[in-house]
Structure 1
Amino acid sequence: MRMRTNLIAVLAFTAAASFFAKSAIAQTNPSTIGTGENIPDAINRAFFSDSGDIYRNANARRQVQFLLGIGSPARNAFPENEIRRDAERIEGLYRDLLEQQVSSDPLIRTPDLTNPFNTSLRTLGTNQRVFGGNQILEAPLQP
């Protein structure tokens, strides 16, 4: 009986997981950036442009380039510098995406809401009861 209960629980969990996995797809058509390339592809291209992926880096020629830094005169192939160039490229793309996001809509300005915390108990004055509390501020006695 216990084995059957566990099997039913596993089947129910699998069915629920497959239902939620299908409904968790956020976008079927990702938005594009100015070049017509969608955003995830642009991020991946920028991330792997200099340093490459595991498939490109697994051959013997690439390992020698990593160790000796053999590359073009202006761009050596040391891994640290390749990663730095990729990071600079991703930062530029990120800033461009943020700029596009901000500049695509008109600027909306709204007034600030009234704030009940603009004052303190000390600035309320003397002999005033603070409503909603049990503190009464009184002036000190004068001798």
Structure 2
Amino acid sequence: MSEFKPENLAVQYVPPASIFNPIDNRKYTLTHCDTTGELFLSIGCHFDPGKINMTMRDEVLGEWKRNLGQYTFSGTVYISGGEFDQQLSNVRYMIFKKELPLALAAMVNGDKGFYAYYPWLLDAPIIICFESIFPEYQQTLYLGTPRQYLIK
């Protein structure tokens, strides 16, 4: 896993989202630059389609959802809808699985001020769904809580 470096993260709040609003359906779009290692995080009420490369599909999406009064951080990673063969899908799956801790650290630390207003969310479960037409890569994983990814 790559190490999270806060200086490599650029954060953008997309209005009307701010450091303290909204909680419900707060959405995160995380992308990166392969050559520089920079990470780009958009936080808003919608995913940021301008940041998503529809050819590569190497973004990590996340959002806060409430179900029966409990919050969950739900994430999505796109592996393949048929445009990538099984071998390339396996490579994508392995890379995403390896780099997810870095992506989650970027999302949590990039929105650190949000947790000052809602500290109980630091202990909410993180659930990540891998989307693929290949059953072996179509998975849902529990990846701990935001507190585990917070840099002190």
Going by fraction, where is strand more abundant, 1 or 2? 2
Going by fraction, where is helix more abundant, 1 or 2? 1
TM-score computed with the length of structure 2 as normaliser: 0.26
Q: Which structure ranks higher in relative contact order (CA pairs < 8 Å, sequence separation ≥ 6)?
A: 2
